[in-house]
Amino acid sequence: MIPDERLKNLLSKIELEIKTCEPHLLELFPIERYIEFIERYPKYAGFKYQSDDVERCCTAIASKSSVNMLEAYHKLIFIRLIYNSQKKIRQLNLPDEVKNDYQKDFDRILLQMENGQGPKGYYLYTNDRFFKDLAICCLRLFPVGARKYELSIFPIKRFLRKGYGQLVKLLIYLTLETRGIAPFLTGHYDTEDPDFMDEFNLKGFMHAYRMIAKVMKMNSDIKGYFGINWINDPQIERVSPRLAYIRYMNIACGCRHFYLGANDSTIKNATMKSPTRRRLYHEGKYFPENYTFVFSRKRLLGWADQRKWHW
């Protein structure tokens, strides 16, 4: 648990910074009201969801003061959310390992603010890391090692443009295997998290899948787990063989893959960190494409039970 004293000291420090520059900002835009906006978010809204109320509030703060003050304001939001969430975590139907990972993330988020390490623009909605940290602080994402997971509705609409055959295969699978499209778990890589590379290996994936299975076992309404990425593209065996184990492991664990095509972000994500993939793409020898992998609840729990883990 993060000590209350640590939270109060950091809160007081940032409040003083804001009041020194903008004495009436916190009166005009009460922290409690902003948090109420967040608490009204739809249950299955993705971690990048931003309501109109929140967007209007951010625009007003920036226009009446500055973007720098908006970032300081968001730091206060993080601290207050962590304070509230620490009390709620005990009641969450999650494994103790996940609850411990929450505490690690809370500590990382606070330490960055205490040390002034966040780059300019970090605490704005234009930053993917801000979205993830905000969702962690209000318990809309839960961490497992290097990955962050959330409840979601399976995105069938994304397959409508991929041809009748692919859609029919998917609908048959969802009908027979998952018997519904919500709620599903879905995960997100956090490539900027300092623990990410330590967990990006076979052992880390096995641990994550074990935790997902554990979450499913504790929450009987969860239909399955899905993800959408370029790493499960069969081409990876040729262009990045060291990553091929991910697709192989998914298949061994009982998942199904469905072709989803590509967009600009697919290409950017697939070529960003690899000179080899970037070169092959520019040479026309590799075109990144997304695949959706889907685990039904039955398949993932069956795999986990075969491992004979002690739950």
- The full 3-state SS of 239-282, as one line of letters, equals HCHHHHHHHHHHHHCCCEEEEEECCHHHHHHHHCCCHHHHHHHH
Question: Is residue 299 one of the residues assigned to a domain?
Answer: yes
Considering the domain architecture, whether residues 178 and 127 belong to the same structural domain is answered as no
CATH for 260: 3.40.630
| Model pLDDT, residue 307 | 73
Q: How many helices (H) and strands (E) does the chain have?
A: 15, 6
| Model pLDDT, residue 192 | 65
pLDDT tens-digit readout, 289-309: 999 999 999 999 999 888 765
| Model pLDDT, residue 193 | 67
Residue 21 phi/psi, 5° resolution?
-90, -40
Q: Tell me which residues of the chain have a pLDDT lower than 50.
A: 310-311
From the list 44, 229, 225, the residue with the least C-alpha distance to 151 is: 44
Q: How far is CA 150 from CA 47, 60, 115, 155, 209, in A?
A: 8, 30, 29, 14, 14
Q: How far apart are the C-alpha atoms of 158 and 296, rounded to whole Å?
A: 19
pTM (whole model) above 0.85: yes
pLDDT tens-digit readout, 119-130: 999 999 999 999
Considering the domain architecture, whether residues 207 and 241 belong to the same structural domain is answered as yes
Amino acid, res. 190: D
Q: How far apart are the C-alpha atoms of 142 and 26, rounded to whole Å?
A: 29
Q: What is the domain extent for residue 100?
A: 4-140
Considering the domain architecture, whether residues 126 and 161 belong to the same structural domain is answered as no
From the list 197, 91, 198, 214, the residue with the least C-alpha distance to 149 is: 214
| Model pLDDT, residue 279 | 97
- Number of domains making up the chain: 2
Considering the domain architecture, whether residues 77 and 172 belong to the same structural domain is answered as no
Considering the domain architecture, whether residues 117 and 240 belong to the same structural domain is answered as no
Domain boundary among 113, 140, 167: 140
Tokens, residue 109: 């988020």
| Model pLDDT, residue 311 | 45
Considering the domain architecture, whether residues 301 and 171 belong to the same structural domain is answered as yes
| Model pLDDT, residue 205 | 87
Using an 8 Å Cβ cutoff, are 183 and 44 in contact?
yes
Residue 296 phi/psi, 5° resolution?
-75, 160
Considering the domain architecture, whether residues 162 and 228 belong to the same structural domain is answered as yes
